[in-house]
Chains A and B, each alone.
Chain A
Amino acid sequence: MTARDLSIGVDVGGTNTDAVVLDGDGRVLAWTKRATTDDITGGIRAGIRDVLAAIGDDRSRVSRVMLGTTHATNAIVQRRQLDRVAMIRLGAPAATEYPPLTGWPEDLKSMVLAGSAMLGGGHMVDGTPIAPLDRDGILRFIDGLDGFDAIAVAGIFSPTSPEQELEVAELLRGHLGPDVRVFLSQDIGPTGLLERENATLLNAALYSVARSVTAALVTVVAEEGLDATTFFAQNDGTLMSLDYAAQYPVLTIGSGPANSIRGAAYLSGHDDAIVIDVGGTTSDLGVVVGGFPRESTLPREIGGVRTNFRMPDVLSVGIGGGTVVDVESGRVGPQSVGYRIDREGLLFGGSTPTLTDAAAMAGSRVAGRTLPALDARTASALEQALAVVADRLEEAVERLSLGRMDFPLVVVGGGGFLVPDRLASAGSILRPEHGGVANAVGAAISLAGGRADQMAPMGERERAIEQASDAAIAKAIQAGADPLQVSVVEVIETHVPYTTQPTITVTVKAAGPLARLTADAPVH
Chain B
Amino acid sequence: MVQTSSAVRTAAPLTEITADDIAALGVGTAIFGTGGGGAVYTAQITVENALRAHGPVPLVSVDDLGPDDVVILMSGIGAPTVGIEMLSATGQIHALLAEAERLLGRPVTTLMAAEIGGSNGVQPIGWAARLGLKVLDADGMGRAFPDAAMVAMNVAGVPCEWAVQSDVVGNISVMKTIDLHWLERHARALTVASGSICIGAHYPMTADTVKGAVIEGTVSAAIRVGHALMSSPDPVSAVAAELDARVLMTGKITDLDRRTAGGFVRGSVTITGTGADRGRLQRLELQNENLLVLEDGEVLVSVPDLITIIDAETGHAITTEMLRFGQRVSVLAWACDPIWRTPRGLELAGPAAFGYDLPYVPFEGAAR
Binding site for B on A (CB under 8 A): 91-98, 102-103, 122, 124-126, 128, 130-131, 156-157, 191-195, 299, 306, 395, 398-403, 495-500, 502-503, 505
Sample 14 A-B pairs with CB under 8 A, ordered by A number: A92-B89, A95-B89, A98-B42, A125-B79, A125-B195, A125-B196, A130-B168, A130-B169, A195-B84, A398-B326, A498-B80, A499-B263, A500-B191, A505-B81
Contacts of B46 in A (CB 8 A): 97-98, 102
The smallest C-beta distance from B364 to any residue of chain A, in angstroms, reads 32
- Contact of A499 with B42 in the complex, beta carbons under 8 Å: no
The smallest C-beta distance from B74 to any residue of chain A, in angstroms, reads 13
Instruction: Decide: A157 near B87, CB < 8 A? Known: A93-B170, A102-B46, A103-B45.
Output: no
Contacts of A495 in B (CB 8 A): 259-260
- Contact of A94 with B81 in the complex, beta carbons under 8 Å: no
Question: Could you tell me the distance between the alpha carbons of A130 and B81 in the complex, rounded to whole angstroms?
Answer: 17
Contacts of A191 in B (CB 8 A): 81, 84-85
Contacts of B88 in A (CB 8 A): 94-95, 97-98
Contacts of A194 in B (CB 8 A): 42, 84, 87
Contacts of A306 in B (CB 8 A): 41
B227 at the interface (CB under 8 A from A): no
Question: Could you tell me the distance between the alpha carbons of A495 and B168 in the complex, rounded to whole angstroms?
Answer: 25
- Contact of A91 with B86 in the complex, beta carbons under 8 Å: yes
B104 at the interface (CB under 8 A from A): no
Interface residues on B, range: 35 or more
Within 8 A of A (CB), among B155-193: 168-170, 188-189, 191-192
B367 at the interface (CB under 8 A from A): no
Question: Could you tell me the distance between the alpha carbons of A317 and B296 in the complex, rounded to whole angstroms?
Answer: 34
Smallest CB-CB separation from B93: which chain A residue? A97
The smallest C-beta distance from B270 to any residue of chain A, in angstroms, reads 11
Question: Could you tell me the distance between the alpha carbons of A497 and B46 in the complex, rounded to whole angstroms?
Answer: 24
The smallest C-beta distance from B282 to any residue of chain A, in angstroms, reads 17
Question: Could you tell me the distance between the alpha carbons of A306 and B45 in the complex, rounded to whole angstroms?
Answer: 11
The smallest C-beta distance from A101 to any residue of chain B, in angstroms, reads 11
Q: Mark B185-215, 1 if CB is under 8 A from A, else 0.
A: 0001101100110000000000000000000
Instruction: Decide: A93 near B91, CB < 8 A? Known: A191-B81, A191-B84, A193-B86.
Output: yes
Contacts of B250 in A (CB 8 A): none
The smallest C-beta distance from B239 to any residue of chain A, in angstroms, reads 22
Instruction: Decide: A497 near B263, CB < 8 A? Known: A399-B324, A402-B325.
Output: yes
Question: Could you tell me the distance between the alpha carbons of A398 and B274 in the complex, rounded to whole angstroms?
Answer: 14
Instruction: Decide: A497 near B264, CB < 8 A? Known: A125-B82, A130-B169, A398-B326.
Output: yes
Question: Could you tell me the distance between the alpha carbons of A400 and B195 in the complex, rounded to whole angstroms?
Answer: 37
- Contact of B192 with A124 in the complex, beta carbons under 8 Å: no
Contacts of A130 in B (CB 8 A): 86, 168-169, 195
Question: Could you tell me the distance between the alpha carbons of A497 and B252 in the complex, rounded to whole angstroms?
Answer: 25
The smallest C-beta distance from B116 to any residue of chain A, in angstroms, reads 18
Taking A395-B326, A398-B252 as known contacts, 17 extra A-B pairs with beta carbons closer than 8 A to each other, sorted by chain A number, are A92-B89, A93-B90, A93-B168, A93-B169, A94-B86, A94-B89, A96-B90, A98-B88, A102-B49, A125-B82, A131-B169, A192-B85, A402-B326, A496-B79, A498-B38, A499-B81, A500-B263
- Contact of B86 with A95 in the complex, beta carbons under 8 Å: yes
- Contact of A125 with B264 in the complex, beta carbons under 8 Å: no
Question: Could you tell me the distance between the alpha carbons of A384 and B49 in the complex, rounded to whole angstroms?
Answer: 48
- Contact of A93 with B260 in the complex, beta carbons under 8 Å: no
Most-contacted residue by chain B among A93, A128, A402 (CB, 10 A): A93
Contacts of A103 in B (CB 8 A): 45
B109 at the interface (CB under 8 A from A): no
Number of A-B contacts (CB under 8 A): 127
B18 at the interface (CB under 8 A from A): no
Question: Could you tell me the distance between the alpha carbons of A93 and B194 in the complex, rounded to whole angstroms?
Answer: 13
Smallest CB-CB separation from B260: which chain A residue? A495
Instruction: Decide: A94 near B168, CB < 8 A? Known: A102-B45, A124-B86, A403-B254.
Output: yes
Smallest CB-CB separation from B167: which chain A residue? A94
- Contact of A97 with B326 in the complex, beta carbons under 8 Å: no
- Contact of A97 with B90 in the complex, beta carbons under 8 Å: yes
B328 at the interface (CB under 8 A from A): yes
Which 6 A-B residue pairings sit nearest by Cβ, starting from the closest? A124-B195, A495-B260, A94-B168, A399-B326, A95-B87, A93-B89
- Contact of B195 with A128 in the complex, beta carbons under 8 Å: yes
Contacts of B263 in A (CB 8 A): 497-500, 502
- Contact of A97 with B92 in the complex, beta carbons under 8 Å: yes
The smallest C-beta distance from B325 to any residue of chain A, in angstroms, reads 4
Within 8 A of A (CB), among B46-93: 46, 49, 78-82, 84-92
B321 at the interface (CB under 8 A from A): yes
Contacts of B192 in A (CB 8 A): 500
Contacts of A499 in B (CB 8 A): 79, 81-82, 196, 263
Contacts of B188 in A (CB 8 A): 500
- Contact of B86 with A403 in the complex, beta carbons under 8 Å: no
Contacts of B78 in A (CB 8 A): 498
Question: Could you tell me the distance between the alpha carbons of A91 and B88 in the complex, rounded to whole angstroms?
Answer: 11
Question: Could you tell me the distance between the alpha carbons of A120 and B324 in the complex, rounded to whole angstroms?
Answer: 40
Smallest CB-CB separation from A499: which chain B residue? B79
The smallest C-beta distance from B63 to any residue of chain A, in angstroms, reads 32
Contacts of A395 in B (CB 8 A): 252, 326, 328
Contacts of B254 in A (CB 8 A): 403
B327 at the interface (CB under 8 A from A): yes
Contacts of A402 in B (CB 8 A): 325-326
Contacts of B195 in A (CB 8 A): 124-126, 128, 130
- Contact of B288 with A497 in the complex, beta carbons under 8 Å: yes
The smallest C-beta distance from B193 to any residue of chain A, in angstroms, reads 10
The smallest C-beta distance from B20 to any residue of chain A, in angstroms, reads 16
Smallest CB-CB separation from A496: which chain B residue? B81
Q: Mark B24-43, 1 if CB is under 8 A from A, else 0.
A: 00000000000000100110
Contacts of A96 in B (CB 8 A): 89-91
B265 at the interface (CB under 8 A from A): yes
The smallest C-beta distance from A186 to any residue of chain B, in angstroms, reads 12
Instruction: Decide: A498 near B79, CB < 8 A? Known: A94-B169, A402-B326.
Output: yes
The smallest C-beta distance from A153 to any residue of chain B, in angstroms, reads 15
The smallest C-beta distance from A26 to any residue of chain B, in angstroms, reads 32
The smallest C-beta distance from B271 to any residue of chain A, in angstroms, reads 13
Question: Could you tell me the distance between the alpha carbons of A403 and B326 in the complex, rounded to whole angstroms?
Answer: 7
Contacts of A505 in B (CB 8 A): 81
Contacts of A93 in B (CB 8 A): 89-91, 168-170
Smallest CB-CB separation from B328: which chain A residue? A395
Question: Could you tell me the distance between the alpha carbons of A379 and B195 in the complex, rounded to whole angstroms?
Answer: 65
Contacts of A399 in B (CB 8 A): 324-327
Q: Mark B264-293, 1 if CB is under 8 A from A, else 0.
A: 110000000000000000000000100000
Within 8 A of A (CB), among B312-358: 321, 324-328
Contacts of B86 in A (CB 8 A): 91, 94-95, 122, 124-125, 130, 156-157, 193
Our pick among B92, B260, B325 for the contact of A496 (Cβ within 8 Å) is B260
The smallest C-beta distance from B87 to any residue of chain A, in angstroms, reads 4
The smallest C-beta distance from A127 to any residue of chain B, in angstroms, reads 10
Contacts of A131 in B (CB 8 A): 169
The smallest C-beta distance from A473 to any residue of chain B, in angstroms, reads 25
